[in-house]
Amino acid sequence: MKTITLKSVLNRRTGWIALAALAGAVAGFVVFTISQVTGRNLYIIIGAVAGAAALLVLPRYWRSAQLSEVKVTVPQISELTFVVNNDARQVAWKLYIETVTRVSTQQLADEDGFVREALTSLYSLFAITRDMLKASRPSAPVSGGQTVEHLAVTMLNHELRPFLSKWHPRLREYEKTHPDDSESGWPDNRACRAELRRAQENLAGYALGFARLAGVRDAKAAIASVSPAP
């Protein structure tokens, strides 16, 4: 086993300091030399530096801005064509993870879990999705294609909001008037669970849509692995 001594560490650090000093000296010499240049040669040097900088920066920008067309089928809204870039794919990936790892895609059998926990999880998904969209830059509108924001907002307004606005107040009222009773005594328990399963099926379609936009492979298998049949 190689032994690291204090001397070797100091020697290595001294070598890095000397290399940094040399690089600084070369950079200072170049800057001083350029500052002494005037006229046509100065413009040539500036142009060369700008060209080199563009060569380093533009490919990264191009990869970020490059658009691709993706067709997504969500049962509730049929097939849509989306135009996405890398930024949009990142947003879609985050939305996919948030959706697929919650009760939104995990079926809840009549004898399992608690409706309150399911409603809380769905409410959290609503809030996180809304905050994520607010924090991200909006996709540039492209003729003939939708954006990932469109799919996310549709999920919020067509699936999560109607379900939560219907069942959250009902369960809250029961909890308020029956503070010592079990949730199983709630008269709407089975009806809420049945509607929850339908909402989960729809939300799974959105999760697959986000996966498609993000370029996730085998997304159906991932959702199936956390969605046992009721």
Note the pLDDT tens digit of each residue in 153-209: 999 999 999 999 999 999 999 999 999 898 889 999 999 999 998 998 899 999 999
Cα gap 122→118, rounded to integer Å: 6
Q: Where are the domains of the chain?
A: 6-65, 68-225
Spell out the residues 6+ positions from residue 54 whose beta carbon is closer than 8 angstroms to its own: none
Q: What is the mean pLDDT of residues 119-124?
A: 93
Percent of the chain at pLDDT > 90 equals 30
Read off the tokens for 42: 């100065």
Please, which residues bridge with residue 74 across strands? 78
Question: What is the 3 state secondary structure string of 77-118?
Answer: CEEEEEEECHHHHHHHHHHHHHHHCCHHHCCCCCCCCCHHHH
Distance (Å) of CA 5 to CA 10, 98, 179:
9, 49, 68
Mean pLDDT of all residues belonging to the chain:
77
More confident: 75 or 229: 75
Q: Compute how many other C-beta atoms are within 10 angstroms of the C-beta atom of residue 206.
A: 29
pTM: 0.66
Spell out the residues 6+ positions from residue 132 whose beta carbon is closer than 8 angstroms to its own: 91, 94, 95, 98, 152
Q: Which of 79, 26, 114, 57 is nearest to 208 (CA)?
A: 79
Distance (Å) of CA 161 to CA 31, 104, 125, 167, 199:
60, 13, 11, 10, 11
Q: Whole-angstrom distance between the N-terminal and C-terminal Cα of the chain?
A: 58
